[in-house]
Structure 1
C-alpha cells in the first residue's frame, strides 16, 4: 500500500527548470504556476543581460553619427557627401546583418550568441581608434571602420528574437518594448557622452570615442557567458523562416516598421550632421557643441516612448496605436518644414523630438502586433483543424521570432534610406525640405496601410474573426 502511494504521489516541483549546461529544456511561460515559481526570475535575468548587450550594440552602432561632426575640426577634410556616407555605411551594414543575427539564435543558442555579438563590438571600436589617430588616414579606411560598426545594429534582431521566447503572451509586449528601449537608449547615451568625452581632449581626441566602450563590452560578454541561458524551444527550424517569408503579414508589418524604426534610427544617425550643417552659427555656443547640439534628446525620448507604445498596444491594440503614431509623425514632419523655413532652431529640435516620441511609440506598437497576429492565427488554425492549441502556439512563436528578425532588418534598412534621401536632398538640391516632404508622404501611406490591413471592421470579421481578440 505504501509503495502505491509513493507511485501515485505527484512529483515535487523542481526549483529550477531542467537544464543541460546553460540550456533550459523545459520552458512553459504560459503556465501561471511555472511562471510564478521559476519562469519570471529566469526570464528577467536574461532580459537584463540582453538589454545590456543590445544597449552597447547601439552605443557602437551610432558612434559615427557623433564622430563625423568633429572630423573637419580635427583636420580631416571630407566633403558633405563623404560625411553622409560615413553615417550611412554602419546603418546599411547593421540592417543587412540583422537577418543572419536572427538565424544565429536558434543555431548557437541565445547565451552563446550574446557572448559572440558582444565580443564583436571590440572590432569597430579599435578600428575607429586607428582611423582617427593620423590625419593621413585614407577615406576608404574610414568607410571600412564605419561599416564595421554595423555589427552593433545586428544585436537588436538576435536579442529581440531570443527574448520573445522567454515571456508569456500577456507580458510579451512590455518585455519586448523594454528590451528594445534599453537598446535604443544607447543612441542617446552615445550622443550625450561621446561629445563630452571628446571635448575633454580639446575636441581633437576622437580616439576616446572608441576607447570609451571597450571595458563595458568586455564586461557584457563575461556576464552573458556566466549568467544567461539558452532555450531548446528557441531552436527554430528553417521552415519557420520560409513560412514567415511567404506570409504577407510579414511584409506588411515590415513596411510599417520601416516607417517607425526606420525613422528613429535614420534620424538618430543624421540629426547631429543636419544640425551642424543647417545651423552653423551654433558652433559659437561651446555648451551646445559639448552636448552634441542636444541631438541626444530625440533618441532619449524616443527610446523611453518605445515600451510605452508596447504597453498602449497591449491595452488598446497595436493597430490603433500604430495608426495614431503615423499621423503624429506626419504632424512632426510639417513642424520640421516650418522650422527650416523660419530658420528657427528651437522649433526644429522640438519637431524632431516629437518625431522621435511618435516613432518610438510606433516601434513598440508595431512589434507588439507580430506575436499578436501570429498567435491569434495559430488559435484559429487549432480550431479549424482540430490540432492541439499548444502545438500551434509553439509553431507561431517560432514564426514570430522569424518575423521579428525580418522586420528588424527591413526597418533598419529604412534608416539607411532616410540617410540617403537626406544626402541627395542636401548635396544635390541644396535643401533638406524636399526630403522631409517625402517622409510626410510615407507616414500618410503608413497610416493608410495600417487601417487597411488591421482596422477595417468588415475585412476583420470576414477574413480573420479570431484576430479581433489578438490585441492587434
Structure 2
C-alpha cells in the first residue's frame, strides 16, 4: 500500500483539523506494516496518557475529601462520601453519551475537547479547597465536573479500537484500559506527597494547617494535574488522527437492549468493575473512618487500585489460556466472596494489617474479573453487537463509583461501622456467582464462554 493511502489535510494551527486520514484498512497486512501500525501506535500512546490523566481527575475527590475537615471544613461523613461518589455518578452517565462522540466529531477532535475540559474541575477545585467557607453545593458541582474524566473512558475505547486489526484489538484495548486505570492509583499515591510541596502552593495560594499541626497546600491535589493536562491536550491536537468510517448509528446498536445477555453481563461487569472503581473512590475515606488511629494508613490506599488495574490484563490472558472466561470469573467470584468476609472479620477485630491484606485481595479479584468478563462478551454476542455491549456495560458499571461510596457512607452514618455495606456487597457477589454458573459455566449452560 502506497503512502498516498494515508493523506493529511493540513489546515490552520488554530483548528482541530490538523491531521486527517482519508483511508484506513488495518486488516490489509501490507497497509498495516507500511502505514497503519505507525499511526495506530502513536494514537494509542497519546490516548493512554490522556486516559491516565482522565482517571486521575475522576478520582481526585477520593483523596481530597479525606483532608477537607482537617483544614477547616465542617462536612459530615455522608457529605464527604457524597463528594467522593458524585464523580462516579456523573462519569458513568457521561460514558453513555461519550461512547458516540468520536463517531460524531472525530476521535482525535473529541480527545482534544474532553482532555482539555479536565482543566475546569482541576482549576476550580484548586481554588475552592483553599477557602473553608466554600459551600457544599459548590464543592458538589466541582466533584460532579470530575465526572468528565470518567466519561472519557468510553470515548477513548471507542476511538482506539478501530485503529487496530482484529488480532491486536484485545492487546490494544487492554493497554489503553489497563494503563489508563493506573491513574486511579497514581492520584492516591502522588497527592499526599504533592500536598507538602510548598513551592507549588506558593504560586497559587497560601498553606493550611492540619489538625495535627502539619503544614500542607491542599490546592496542590488539583493544581498538579493542570500542566500535564495542557501538555497532553496540545500533543493530542498535533499528534492524533481522525479515522474515516467510524460513525456509529444508535439505531443499529440499540438491538443489544433486546438481548437478555446484555443485562446479565451488565450485572456481572458491575460486579467487578463497579467494585473496582467504587472501592477505589471509597478506600481512603473508609480507612480514615475505621482506622484513623493507625499512622500512615491512608497513605497505603493507592495499593488497592494499583493492584486492581495492574492485574486486569492477566484476567483476559488467563481466560484465553483455559479457553473459558466464565470459568475464570466463577472461581474469581468465590475468592472475592472470601476476601470480603475477611475484610469484615478484620474490620471487627480492628486489625489493620489483616483488613488491608483482605482488601488488596479483593482489589485483585475485581481486576481479574474485569479482564475475564470482557473476554466473555465476544463469545456471547455477534461480532457487530460486541462493541456497543462493551460500551454499555462499561457505562453502567461505572455507577459503582457513586453507589459504593454512598453505601459505605450510609452504613457508617446509620450503624457506626461499614459492616452493613460489606454484607450487602457479599449478597451481590453470591448472586453473581449463581448467575455466572447458571448461564455460562455449568455443564449444560445456555452459552459456554
- 1:203 and 1:109, CA in 2 relative to 1: closer, same or farther beyond 3 A? farther
Mapped contact 1:305–1:360 kept (Cα < 8 A): yes
Counterparts of residues 197-212 of structure 1 (less than 5 Å): 197-201=194-198, 202-212=214-224
- 1:440 and 1:236, CA in 2 relative to 1: closer, same or farther beyond 3 A? same
Counterparts of residues 13-32 of structure 1 (less than 5 Å): 13-15=1-3, 17-19=5-7, 21=9, 22-32=19-29
Deviation (angstroms), 1:39: 2.8
- 1:450 and 1:27, CA in 2 relative to 1: closer, same or farther beyond 3 A? farther
Deviation (angstroms), 1:75: 0.8
Structure number with the higher helix fraction is 1
Matched, 1:133 2:130: yes
Equivalent residue number for residue 312 of structure 1: 318
Deviation (angstroms), 1:16: 6.7
Equivalent residue number for residue 243 of structure 1: 255
- 1:404 and 1:160, CA in 2 relative to 1: closer, same or farther beyond 3 A? same
Counterpart CA distance in 2 for 1:245 and 1:25 is 33
Across the aligned residues of Structure 1 and Structure 2, the Cα RMSD in angstroms comes to: 1.9
Q: Cα deviation per residue 1:320-339 (whole Å; 9 max; x = unaligned)?
A: 22222222211210110111
Counterparts of residues 451-462 of structure 1 (less than 5 Å): 451-460=437-446
- 1:135 and 1:334, CA in 2 relative to 1: closer, same or farther beyond 3 A? same
- 1:173 and 1:321, CA in 2 relative to 1: closer, same or farther beyond 3 A? farther
Mapped contact 1:174–1:310 kept (Cα < 8 A): no
Equivalent residue number for residue 405 of structure 2: 419
Equivalent residue number for residue 427 of structure 2: 441
Equivalent residue number for residue 14 of structure 2: none
Counterpart CA distance in 1 for 2:158 and 2:27 is 18
- 1:434 and 1:16, CA in 2 relative to 1: closer, same or farther beyond 3 A? farther
Counterpart CA distance in 2 for 1:204 and 1:77 is 18
Counterparts of residues 326-337 of structure 1 (less than 5 Å): 326-337=333-344
- 1:192 and 1:127, CA in 2 relative to 1: closer, same or farther beyond 3 A? same
Equivalent residue number for residue 303 of structure 1: 309
Q: Cα deviation per residue 1:47-86 (whole Å; 9 max; x = unaligned)?
A: 1111111100011010011011111111111111111111
Number of residue pairs matched by the alignment = 424
Moved over 6 A (4+): none
Counterpart CA distance in 1 for 2:372 and 2:41 is 21
Unaligned runs of 5+ in 1: 1-12, 379-395
Mapped contact 1:73–1:204 kept (Cα < 8 A): no
Counterpart CA distance in 1 for 2:443 and 2:107 is 39
Structure-1-length-normalised TM-score: 0.85
Counterpart CA distance in 1 for 2:22 and 2:186 is 37
- 1:232 and 1:82, CA in 2 relative to 1: closer, same or farther beyond 3 A? same
Deviation (angstroms), 1:167: 2.5
Q: Cα deviation per residue 1:215-255 (whole Å; 9 max; x = unaligned)?
A: 10011111111111222232112223312233323222221
Q: Cα deviation per residue 1:155-174 (whole Å; 9 max; x = unaligned)?
A: 11111122222223333223
Q: Cα deviation per residue 1:367-389 (whole Å; 9 max; x = unaligned)?
A: 23334433xx34xxxxxxxxxxx
Matched, 1:404 2:385: no
Counterpart CA distance in 2 for 1:39 and 1:249 is 35
Equivalent residue number for residue 285 of structure 2: 273
Specify the SS of the correspondent of 1:233: coil
Counterparts of residues 72-471 of structure 1 (less than 5 Å): 72-201=69-198, 202-282=214-294, 285=295, 288=296, 292-315=298-321, 316-374=323-381, 377-378=382-383, 396=384, 399-460=385-446
Mapped contact 2:7–2:21 kept (Cα < 8 A): yes
Counterpart CA distance in 2 for 1:323 and 1:26 is 43
Deviation (angstroms), 1:20: 5.6
Counterpart CA distance in 1 for 2:403 and 2:392 is 17
